[in-house]
Structure 1
Amino acid sequence: MRQGWSTLGGMAWTTPRLDPDRSRRRLQLLAELAGARAVRQQERPQRVRREQLRQLIAIRRRVTG
């Protein structure tokens, strides 16, 4: 048995439950971030297209290179 694993016991893979208020605030924050991202993409479509093209070029370079 590995030493590092024995000290953690069974709690290594469990996640703490968030209280309902914290979960609600987290979901609200994530929704606001998604909304802000959508607005930015609508305001700057050329920038978004340019970034997508850069990502595609980078992926193709990795695949072919």
Structure 2
Amino acid sequence: MAWTTPPRLDPDRSRRRLQLLAELAGARAVQQRERPQRARSERLRQLIATRRRVAG
């Protein structure tokens, strides 16, 4: 059985792929940093809504 190596990607395609992966990683990091703030905001909204129901 002969082993064949996969054809190499052209340099431009490889560079674009690496750039895309880096951008995705950056976007994922930003999203994970914002998640706790979003969760905190959601809990605060729920608390306010609950207090309004109880007080109303």
The bucket for the TM-score relative to the shorter chain is: 0.5 to 0.7
**TM-superposed deviation, 1:16:** 1.8
Q: Distance in 1 between matches of 2:37 and 2:25?
A: 19
| Pair member with larger Rg | 2
After the TM superposition, which parts of structure 1 deviate over 3 Å for at least 4 consecutive aligned residues? Answer: none
Q: Of 14, 28, 42, which aligns to 2:19?
A: 28
Q: Distance in 2 between matches of 1:23 and 1:15?
A: 14
Identity %: 82
Alpha carbon RMSD of aligned pairs, Å? 2.0
**TM-superposed deviation, 1:45:** 2.9
Letter in 1 for 2:18: L
**TM-superposed deviation, 1:46:** 7.2
Please identify which structure carries the higher helix content.
Answer: 1
- Secondary structure of the residue aligned to 1:16 is coil
Gaps of 5+ in 1: 1-5, 48-65
Q: 1:28-47 to 2 correspondence within 5 Å?
A: 28-45=19-36
Count, aligned residues: 38
RCO higher in structure (CA 8 A, sep ≥6) = 1
